[in-house]
Amino acid sequence: MRYFLSLCLFFVLLSCKKDSKNLETDVESSSGISAISTKDFRDFKILDSEIIANEQIWKSLEKQLADFSEEKYEALKSLILDQDIPTLQKQISEGKLSYEVLVKFYLFRIKTFDRENDLSLNAVISLNPNVIEEAMQKDRELLNKKLKHPIFGMPVLLKDNINTTEMPTTAGALALKNNTTEDAFVTKRLKESGALILGKANLSEWAYFFCGECPSGYSAVGGQTLNPYGRRTIDTGGSSSGSGVAVAANFCAAAVGSETAGSILSPASQNSAVGLKPTVGLLSRTGIIPISSTLDTPGPITKNVTDSAIMLDAMKGLDKDDFKSVNPKSVSYFNELSDASLEGKRFGAFKELMDDELYVDAINVLKEQGAEIVEISEEKIDLPDFLRLLNLDMKADLATYFKTSANKDLTYSTIEDVMDFNSKNSEKAMPYGQKLFEGVSKDNSTKEEFDAIKNTLKTNGKQFFDVPMDRQNLDGILSVNNFHAAEAAVAEYPALTVPMGYTEAGVPRGLTFISKPLTESALLQWAYVYEQASKMRLAPKNYD
């Protein structure tokens, strides 16, 4: 399937071909993908949230931040801005920082840049009211000299479809404004490794599988997320919009997103960040508001590859409640970066992308590091009934979430219950409509028909990558942004995007590595070598 630079949260992959012309051409009608249309992303009906306000977000933290001044902030910038996690830990071990000060620094930045001002990004939807106290506890625990995970004490933002006890999990939806829950499995794993949950990141509402006519980055609760590289001129990508923007703007040490088909790759590449969409099942989905139990996965969004490896180490773990969960590697993805090399590695590069100068430049960097590049053509495969897969999964999976993982006081048990709430509160709950929810509600199939849809999609997705990889003895495939996120999604293959530069208009672009299941260690190593050799990421202007 051609390159579709998606704007559909996980689905951000299908609206923009490489030549930026004929935006919805080459989309097979049988896939249903053409139903997921997007408006011009600058055509905003709503910018700031009408549900939350700064006063509400900061109420519980205001007094605790009173001792953190502008002077302290300025003095700390060189120690913290754009530093990787090992560097931050080194500063703390040398006494130049503390976890408490680090948390306050990020909170100060969020308060300065995120809402209700000329540079506002609307990336953060809520903050952990206990995070400063928890950071102070980490400073005390540091004194016991017990070996700590590299994520220990690091402030992390979670996409607001991931359950956590400290804040409601809303998916950006007014209907879930009071959805207080227990921790998701990956939230527990982060906490067990010592991470601090700083807050929740805004997202394209319901992971961009809700309105169909809305811009990426919009949610009723969080408002319109904006890209720091171009607030009103560059798309945020979606659906993990807030996670990508928050990382780019240095609002946290790292963030967690989720992807069904492009929702990590798109916002990561659009915000000059590193985004890892793992093999489906490597990270648990329990306690995450779903679209598709067939395709969904959480994954890290970070400023660099090192931090992605650290985050993946911290989140992995076998979850008996997730039917796709697999036993993770016992070794450390982070430690394995020390063995990174591209010598003799063979990568397939799409001929159809060779008019992209940034892609060609990235390929040349890989060659200089010892990689072998084989030009390949895209396999001519279809993804029939892709939209139906999402419809049928979401109808069942959302009902299961309400039953097992949502707040017990919520009165919803089906997607129709949410639709009814939205209709009764339409001005605030659904200013762009709820077209995709309507499609979910109307879709039905037999078990045999649904199984056939899934089997065909997975077979076709694997064929897209396996045919050239097996024919040319390739280690991986090279793509751009989320151009081949749909194929990777249905194949259930991992993908990692890393900054590869900026267009003449200043739009960030990512080089995306794709390979076969459970090759995350290799993806991280390849991306690490490329990142260190190219050093293409630049921080956004005006947010220093």
**Rounded Cα gap, residues 499 and 508, in angstroms:** 7
Q: Among 243, 263, 272, 308, which one carries the catalytic annotation? A: 263
Instruction: Report the run of H or E that residue 78 belongs to, with start and end.
Output: helix 70-80
For all residues of the chain together, what is the average pLDDT?
92
The count of other CB atoms within 10 Å of the CB of residue 147 is 5
Rg (CA), the chain: 21
Report the alpha-carbon distance of residue 499 to residue 533 in Å, rounded.
12
pLDDT score at 2:
40
Q: Are 100 and 136 in contact (CB under 8 A)?
A: yes
**Residue from 18, 159, 345, 516 carrying the catalytic annotation:** 159
What number is the average pLDDT over the span 443-468? 98
Q: Which residues pair with 26 in a beta bridge?
A: none
pLDDT of 329 reads 82
State the catalytic residue, choosing from 15, 239, 284, 405.
239
- Rounded to two decimals, what is the model's pTM? 0.94
Span 306-349, pLDDT tens digits: 999 999 999 999 999 999 999 988 889 999 999 999 999 999 99
Mean pLDDT across the stretch 262-270?
98
**Which pair of structure tokens corresponds to residue 305?**
């590859």
Is 204 considered catalytic here?
no
Query: Which has the closest alpha carbon to 309: 21, 79, 133, 522?
Result: 522
Identity at 325, one-letter amino acid code: S
Task: Write out pLDDT tens, residues 3-16.
Answer: 333 333 334 333 33
Give bridge partners of residue 496 from the DSSP assignment: 276, 513
pLDDT value at residue 370: 98
Tell me whether residue 426 is one of the annotated catalytic residues.
no
Q: Tell me how many degrees the CA angle 339-362-254 measures, rounded to the nearest 5.
A: 60
**Of 17-26, 389-398, 406-415, which range is least confident?**
17-26
DSSP class per residue in 267-327: HHHHTT-EEEEPPBTTB--TTB--S-TTT-EEEEEESSHHHHHHHHHHH----TT-TT--P
Q: How many CA atoms lie within 13 A of 124 on its CB side?
A: 34
Give the C-alpha separation, 8 to 36, whole Å: 7
> What's the CA angle centered on 234, arms 232 and 240, to 5 degrees?
105
Q: How confident is the model at residue 213 (pLDDT cuts 50, 70, 90)?
A: confident
Residue 77 CB neighbours (<10 A): 13
- Whether 413 is catalytic is no
